[in-house]
């Protein structure tokens, strides 16, 4: 067992979740930036799709029978279908200029994502603190 697989197993879904939250922040910020751009379509990324591409179930547990590790570079990784596609958001109130960004919705999604980013960061910090304490001998 390699050192990376031990760390991946210890950190679980939290490290990929942090990467996802960061990417989603960029997408939502782009939506907000283009709120007045004619014909701009609001986009988003679904967390469930990211979990699925990484070999996790909706609950964040590893999918039985799905291994994220490979032993040779020629092996095909299960769930390696690439990054999940950006999805278009359907507006509640379409505008005449074709823009689907609703600032209030995007701000809410951005704030929710920021809270979830902080939660993932806290979980990772706790895992790292636990590893550090184990290395030091619990002192």
Domain ranges of the chain: 11-136
pLDDT at 64: 44
Averaged pLDDT, groups of 10, the chain, 139 residues long: 64 82 94 95 86 61 49 51 75 91 96 95 90 80
pLDDT at 103: 94
- CA–CA distance, 44 with 31 (Å, rounded to integer): 9
Contacts of 60 (CB under 8 A, 6+ apart): 12, 13, 51
Cα 23 from chain centre: 7
pTM above 0.75, yes or no: no
């Amino acid at each position: 067992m390699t050192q990376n697989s031990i760390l991946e197993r210890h950190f679980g879904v939290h490290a990929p979740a942090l990467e996802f939250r960061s990417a989603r922040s960029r997408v939502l910020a782009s939506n907000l930036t283009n709120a007045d751009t004619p014909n701009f379509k609001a986009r988003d990324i679904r967390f469930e799709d990211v979990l699925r591409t990484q070999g996790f179930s909706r609950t964040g547990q590893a999918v039985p029978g799905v291994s994220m590790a490979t032993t040779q570079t020629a092996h095909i990784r299960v769930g390696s279908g690439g990054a999940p596609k950006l999805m278009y958001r359907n507006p509640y109130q379409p505008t005449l200029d074709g823009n689907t960004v609703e600032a209030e919705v995007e701000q809410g999604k951005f704030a929710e994502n920021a809270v979830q980013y902080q939660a993932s960061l806290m979980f990772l910090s706790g895992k790292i603190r636990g590893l550090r304490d184990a290395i030091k001998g619990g002192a």
